[in-house]
Structures are given as C-alpha cells and as structure tokens.
Amino acid sequence: MSAQPRKQVNVGWIKDLHARKGLQLGLGFFFGIIFGFLLQKGGVTQYDVIIGQLLLSDFTVVKVMLSAVITGMLGVRLLNSLGLASLHPKPGSLGMNVIGGLIFGIGFGILGYCPGTIAGAVGNGYLDALFGGLVGILLGVAAFAELYPKLEGDILKKMDYRDVTLPELLHVDPWAAVFLVALLLGGVLWGLERLGL
C-alpha cells in the first residue's frame, strides 16, 4: 500500500530484548508506574479536569495530549528512521472509528475518565472510578466481545482504510508530515496560551 516499505527494527540486541517475555511484563509495569505518576501530576486523573476539558473551560487535557504527541512523534519517528523501532499503526475504517469514537465520546462525557486515566483515578482514591466506571468498562468490553462476530464482517469494515498513515495516504515524505503536524499542533498550543485558556 505504501510507496516505500515500512522500516522495521534491525538491531539484534533490541529484537532479543523484545522477545524476553518475563522481562517485558516487568517493563510494562515499570512504564505504567511512570505513566500513572505523570497522569496524576498533570491533574488528568481527576474528573473535574477532564470534564472541564469537555465543557471547554479547562484545556489541561489538550495541552498534555498535544505536547505528548509532538514530543513522541519526533522521537519515535527518529528511532524508526534509524531502524531502532518499528511503527504499529492501528487498522481502521470509518465504520469503526467514527461510530466507535462517538460511542466512546458519549461515555467520556458521562464518566469523565477514560480507560487509562481511570486506572490513575483509582490510584488517586476516587471510588466512583473504582466501583462505577471500572465495572462499567469491563461490562462494556464484554458486551462488545459478544457482539463482535455480528459486527466484524459488516459495519466494522465500512469504508475500510486499514492501517494507512497520513504520509502514505497523501504521498508525502514522512518527515515533512511530521514537521508540518508538529508546527500545526504547536500553533494550537500557542493559540490557547494567547487566548489565556
């Protein structure tokens, strides 16, 4: 699909590291601790902060997300260019991402946490997250697993675009796309600060 083949990891010791299952579980736990620590420090483990974003009165969530995307995008793309990391773009379709995204949004507006931040909310001591939201999420994914065989070959495949990335779709150089998106997102952050949000 892409004009150029995607670059994969080509360094032996890194591949060996990825294959060590027990060590990887430990690394996942370690990365989770750092992620949770950062989420809490950013205030995004709080309902009040997330709902403030959805009510467009507190832009903390957007500021955290966009600065994470800009930073992550530059570094991960560099690692990929050097053959030190493979990319893992998710496949999708309009049927998946638009409908699923909007259903998710309904839940986002009611719950005020998402699957990652709710784990942080539980760690913060928020009991509505533990006894309400977490139970709801588990029931929701279980319901989806039940319905999956009916949805799989049908609505989830409507307007399928698989795992295409923006530079592949637009036939532009990946680095040009990275810098353009970094500039655009940086501009949004600059605009938010200018507006005093």
Partner 1 sequence: MEQWSPYAVGIGIGVLSWFTFLLSDKPIGASTAYVRTAGMLEKLFRGKKVGEMAYFKKFPPVVDWECMLVVGIVLGSFLSAWLSGTFRFEWVPSIWAANFGSSPLTRVLAALVGGFFIGFGSRWAGGCTSGHGISGTLQLTLSSWVSVICFFIGGVITAFFLFIFGA
Strand partners, 8: none
Rounded to whole angstroms, how far apart are CA atoms 26 and 96? 32
40 in Cβ contact with 123 (< 8 Å): yes
Taking CB under 8 A as the rule, does residue 52 contact partner 1?
yes
47 in Cβ contact with 113 (< 8 Å): yes
Taking CB under 8 A as the rule, does residue 107 contact partner 1?
yes
Residue 171 CB, shortest distance to partner 1, in Å, is: 13
Taking CB under 8 A as the rule, does residue 106 contact partner 1?
yes
- Judged by CB under 8 A, the residue of 3, 88, 171, 194 near partner 1 is 88
Q: How many residues bind partner 1 (CB under 8 A)?
A: 128
Taking CB under 8 A as the rule, does residue 7 contact partner 1?
no
Residue 187 CB, shortest distance to partner 1, in Å, is: 15
189 in Cβ contact with 74 (< 8 Å): no
Taking CB under 8 A as the rule, does residue 145 contact partner 1?
yes
Closer residue to partner 1 in complex, CB, 109/191? 109
Taking CB under 8 A as the rule, does residue 137 contact partner 1?
yes
188 Cβ contact partners less than 8 Å away, ≥ 6 residues apart: 62, 66
- Judged by CB under 8 A, the residue of 2, 10, 105, 154 near partner 1 is 105
Taking CB under 8 A as the rule, does residue 6 contact partner 1?
no
54 in Cβ contact with 108 (< 8 Å): yes
* Gap between the terminal Cα atoms of the chain: 41
Residue 69 CB, shortest distance to partner 1, in Å, is: 5
